[in-house]
Amino acid sequence: MADPAVRSPNAAPARERSNRWRTVDIVVTAVLGAAFGVVFWAWGLLWAGTGTAFAAFPPAQAFMYGVWLIPAVLAPLIVRKPGAGLFAELVAAIVSALLGSAWGTTTIVYGLLQGLAGDAGFAAFRYRRFGWAPALLAAVLAGATAAVLDLVYYYPDWSAGWKTTYVALVVGSTAVVAGIGSVLLARALAASGALSSFASGRTRV
């Protein structure tokens, strides 16, 4: 008899690959997005409060950026459904805007596009892999999207050097905080038993 195929621990089992959203998927993703909406709002206050420290070289502040992209990566790692990154990031952006984000309704545009970019990282693997590679790709795509939006909306007059540095720092921050950080957080949640209702709680992320 042929040996059973070896399956990567980061691949979703065939019986658990249904793309149909369950009630628990919707609720958890919405709660995750809402919680990070509060974090986004608070992080915006911190961003504004530390702005003067970077007056000599504003692009350097981008090292703080990654927090705003966590839901776009963490939600797909936990829920493992197409659109999870978009859903969570958009909810977070809406909550942040409602709480009084300094960027107003533009925040919602960011949430929409960053969420789509994050989901694209997992879509590239057909939502069948949920390890380091898709998480980092999702983070990089989301970070690049956010950086380009910033350059268009807020920093069109910066020099090419400043723009390049800013994009690199945003992407780097997002890769570390939203990419690596989300994988580690998902693993910690799975180990605690909090994700027992999800495939991510039964297989190693």
Question: DSSP assignment of 125-150, as one string?
Answer: TTT-B-SHHHHHHHHHHHHHHHHHHH
Is residue 2 a part of any domain in this protein?
A: no
* 10 in a structural domain: no
d(CA 179, CA 30): 20
Give domain status of residue 105, yes or no.
Answer: yes
For residue 179, tell me if it sits in a domain: yes
Q: Is residue 64 part of a domain?
A: yes
Residue 153 lies in a domain: yes
Phi, psi of 46 (to 5 degrees): -65, -40
- Report residue 201: phi and psi, to 5°: -90, -10
Cβ contacts of 174 within 8 Å, gap of 6 or more: 65, 66, 69, 139, 140, 142, 143, 146
Total domains in the chain come to 1
* Predicted local confidence at residue 144, as pLDDT: 98
- The pLDDT of residue 127 is 92
Task: Chunk the chain into consecutive blocks of 10 residues (it has 205) and report each block's average pLDDT, rounded to whole numbers.
Answer: 46 59 95 97 96 96 97 96 97 97 95 97 94 97 98 97 98 98 94 77 59
What CA–CA distance (Å, rounded) separates 142 from 44? 18
What is residue 146's predicted lDDT score, i.e. its pLDDT?
A: 98
Within a domain: residue 87?
yes
How far is Cα 147 from Cα 155, in angstroms, rounded to an integer?
10
In three-state secondary structure terms, 12 is coil
| Inside any domain, residue 97 | yes
Domain encompassing residue 52: 20-201
pLDDT at 85: 97
Token pair, residue 157, equals 């007059």
Provide the residue count of the chain. Answer: 205
Residue 135 in tokens: 């998480």
